[in-house]
A and B are shown apart, each in its own frame.
Chain A
Amino acid sequence: MNSAAFVLISILTLGAALAAATLRKLMHAALCFALTFGGLAMFFLLLGAEFVGLALVFIYVGAVAVLIVFTILLTRRDAVKERRVHWAGAVIAVVAFGTLAWSILRTESVSVVAHRMPSLTVGRIGEALMTGYVWPLQCTGLLLTAALIGALVLVMEEKQ
């Protein structure tokens, strides 16, 4: 059953990713992009990494995708007419894919299939964040707060 689910989710995710890259209408591409993230989240749920999968839905489908569609909405709406190939984009895509594939293939835990990882519960992630990774966590929090205040300052009503 798991392998069947894996195949179905793979088809969905890859199809949505391909659609996001090729669709003419920008809004459809953005929505397919959100669907891709939904598929990725399903992969994590299938692997038993609930927290990562749900956080992916929460952040990418709930927030980032809405940000992207609003960016499209609030910028100019006329679609680019010419359909030429952007070579710079292709090069960046190949480099990104190559780097990821290289680092994934070099990771040892992937090559050993029989090695069973302990299930990744929310509690263990919380413990790790609050002990070993407390400095990165606090720094990220500070950065996000600064960004929030910065956004507020940008949109604040100017006194005449």
Chain B
Amino acid sequence: MSEFADQIFVNAKRAFLAPMAHLPGWLVQAASGLIDIFTLLAVFLTLFALVSVLERKILARIQNRYGPNRVGPFGLLQPVADGIKMLIKEDVVPARADKPVHFLAPILIAAAAILALGVIPYGRNMTPFSIDGGILFFFAVGSTTELAVFMAGWGSNNKFSMLGAMRAIAQMFSYELPLIVAVLPVVMVVGSLMPDRIVAAQGGYLFGFAPRWFVFTPWGFAAFIIFFVSGLVESNRTPFDVPEGESEIVAGHMTEYSGFKYATFFMAEYLGMFATSGLGITLFLGGWHAPLPFLEFIPSYVWFFVKLSALVFIYIWIRGTLPRTRIDQIMNFAWKFALPMSFACLVAAALWHYAGRGFSGWCWSLAMVGGVYTGLSFLLDTRRKFAPRVYRFAE
């Protein structure tokens, strides 16, 4: 029964493709690809609609108010109303805008976010786009986002847009390094860039009950925290929403977008959030594996989406709790703390490997990570007394 439920989508796709067996190979391949794409889009756009209303509900709960409750039961039809509103809004393009660039930016940013979703294993045998260098593909596609953000800022021909785009690119560039270096320990330990193999390496249980997820090793835990924070910065969400900064530069690179193009930017932000969380789950949280042996009867894709929901909830929780950080704080954190710390994770993972991947390796890597953490906190001297800020260019 559990086997049947686990593979139901895989078998459904196979049954759908079976009558096409006599057709030429490339046609079957194209049909298979189209099914994957439609499923991916349907699932994640529905999830985007649900999360957009859930986010407003949770933020409202945190701020002690009701949130959307007028449309449908518990306000659940709010995304439909929002979608209709966005569709029938006038699409305003500034007269002096660089029109092709202004038009292409939201398309490129959404395309990058959707492509990045393609390499994540959502369940047993459920990777839409299974390639050897899947992790590399994720980051290669993600790096085109910076160009898209720049296109949005430049194409709008607006000072606020350009400032927002420059801020966004500055922080995305700075955090790409810790993000990728934090992924390296996992790639090194597994010996593969393929997401399926990384998930497979985290299967099974230690002593019959403890899951062998990488987040339960000291280096994996530290790398996961760095990965999560860097992912938060890459998605430009609170507390790192300096690029949008509603109170200072309106909405950053999205200032001059209206109607459905604005909605596309928001969709890309949420899809990027899902993609980063999905990669974090794949790398550190055991992918679609169940946390305990007796829970294995629940299908694998359910576990993936439970973990995804948990991470997305943490994103929303952070947004409702923390104020916006300053840009110099963000940059200092990236270069002075996150980068050395992620290199320390790399060395700690090597120690863990060479000490036999057992208890002694666990202790060695804990000593490495803890030592570097303590050393950095002394070096950076977080207890430094605060002084009035000195402005260099604005006297």
Interface residues of A (CB under 8 A from B): 1, 25, 27-28, 31, 34, 50-51, 54-55, 57-58, 61-63, 65-66, 69-70, 73, 121-123, 157
Contact = CB atoms under 8 A, between A and B. Distances in A.
A62 B140 contact: yes
Nearest to B165: A73
Contact of B136 (A28, A70, A73, A122): A122
Interface-central residue, A58, A70, A73, A157, by most chain B CB under 10 Å: A58
A158 B146 CA distance: 31
Contact of B101 (A1, A31, A54, A66): A31
A28 B133 contact: no
26 contacts: A27-B98, A27-B101, A31-B101, A31-B151, A34-B147, A50-B131, A50-B136, A51-B133, A51-B136, A55-B136, A57-B140, A57-B143, A58-B136, A58-B143, A61-B147, A62-B140, A62-B144, A62-B146, A66-B150, A66-B173, A69-B150, A69-B154, A70-B150, A70-B169, A73-B162, A121-B132
Contacts, number: 65
Given A34-B147, A50-B131, A66-B147, A28 B100 contact: yes
B154 A58 contact: no
Contacts of A28: 98, 100-101
B327 interface: no
A121 B191 CA distance: 12
Interface string B118-161: 00000000000001110011011101101100110010000000
Given A54-B140, A65-B147, A69-B154, 11 more contacts: A28-B98, A50-B137, A54-B137, A57-B140, A57-B141, A57-B143, A66-B146, A66-B147, A69-B147, A69-B150, A122-B193
A57 B101 contact: no
Contacts of B143: 57-58, 61-63
Contacts of B294: none
Given A31-B151, A57-B143, A69-B154, A1 B26 contact: yes
A25 B99 CA distance: 12
Contacts of A73: 154, 162
**A interface SS class:** helix
Which 8 A/B pairs are nearest by Cβ-Cβ distance? A62-B143, A1-B26, A57-B140, A58-B140, A54-B140, A50-B133, A54-B136, A122-B133
A28 B192 CA distance: 38
Contact of B169 (A34, A57, A66, A157): A66
A73 B101 CA distance: 14
Interface residues of B, number: 27
Contacts of B137: 50, 54
Contacts of A50: 131-133, 136-137
Interface string B331-357: 000000000000000000000000000
A8 to B, nearest CB: 14
A147 to B, nearest CB: 15
A62 B147 contact: yes
Interface string B161-174: 01000000100010
Nearest to B144: A61
B139 A58 contact: yes
Contacts of B392: 157
Contacts of A54: 133, 136-137, 140
Contacts of B133: 50-51, 54, 122
A30 B140 CA distance: 19
A27 B173 CA distance: 21
Nearest to A61: B144
Contacts of A57: 140-141, 143-144
A157 B131 CA distance: 46
Nearest to A53: B140
A27 B154 contact: yes
B191 to A, nearest CB: 8
A25 B100 CA distance: 12
A116 B252 CA distance: 51
A121 B134 CA distance: 12
Nearest to A72: B154
A2 B293 CA distance: 45
Chain B CB count within 10 A is highest, among A55, A62, A73, for A62
Nearest to A25: B98
B60 to A, nearest CB: 38
Contacts of A51: 133, 136
Contacts of B173: 66
Nearest to B155: A27
Nearest to A50: B133
Interface string B157-201: 000001000000100010000000000000000011100000000
A28 B151 CA distance: 10
B140 A55 contact: yes
Interface string B299-333: 00000000000000000000000000000000000
A108 B150 CA distance: 43
A130 to B, nearest CB: 12
Nearest to A5: B26
> Which residue of B100, B143, B146 has the most chain A CB atoms within 10 A of its CB atom?
B143
A51 B139 CA distance: 12
